[in-house]
Amino acid sequence: MRRIGDDSLTVVGILGVTHDPQMQAQYHYPLSLMEELMQEFAPDVVCGEVHPKSWRLYLETGDPYGILNEIQAEYPRLIFPFCERHGVEFIPVNWFEEDVFDEGPFDRFGADIQQRLEKDLAQWNHKQMETWNRGRIPFNSPAYDIVTQAMYAWLQQVNPEVQNIQWNARHNIMVARVARAIAEHRGKRILCIHGADHNYWYRHALGERTDIELVYPLR
């Protein structure tokens, strides 16, 4: 699994995925491609979009679905077995409060406004999908990230209270956990795997670090 290279350099890769099996088929991003990309990167460590409590539940009971049944299917189907098979350390970095902050971005509005906002969001999603193949890996490209960042900036304007918790605070904690993984695994290859909408935040947060080599997209 290990690549020959400078053992003093910490290499951090970003891999955005789609959780939806229908989208995986429609946009030519099957689990087999995810596995191929993981094998090419040859990580020592995977930082995954899994809550620490859900990871503990998996280790203690074998339940791969999470404390809120929230773990996406690619983890039990591919990522957990890949790490176990190749001796890759898995670090859970996701964050949410399971008993609070479950409000959706449009829940506080009346039915008419909700309907309009849902249509606006659908248009943003359409703009995202128009860029799906702008890189060598679906949804992993600057073009996709530009639209995605603009979409979440719009959501921030619509409902800043919800976005500050469910998106901004969550990302700050996730990236802080990645930063801790970097500090604890100097000279290793660390692969961050998460939904592709998180790519732009990770890229901005990690891109200015001078103590790592950031690889994004992986191809």
pTM (predicted TM-score): 0.94
In this prediction, what percent of the chain has a pLDDT beyond 90? 93
Q: Dump pLDDT digits (tens) for 10-59.
A: 999 999 999 999 999 999 999 999 999 999 999 999 999 999 999 999 99
Q: Which residues contact 154 (CB under 8 A, 6 or more apart)?
A: 120, 124
Domain that holds residue 70: 10-215
In a domain, 199, yes or no: yes
Residue 72 is classified by DSSP as -
Q: Does the structure show a pLDDT above 90 at 7? A: no
In a domain, 1, yes or no: no
- Tracing tokens 């970003």 back to the chain, one arrives at 14
Per the structure, the count of domains in the chain is 1
In a domain, 4, yes or no: no
In a domain, 36, yes or no: yes
In a domain, 197, yes or no: yes
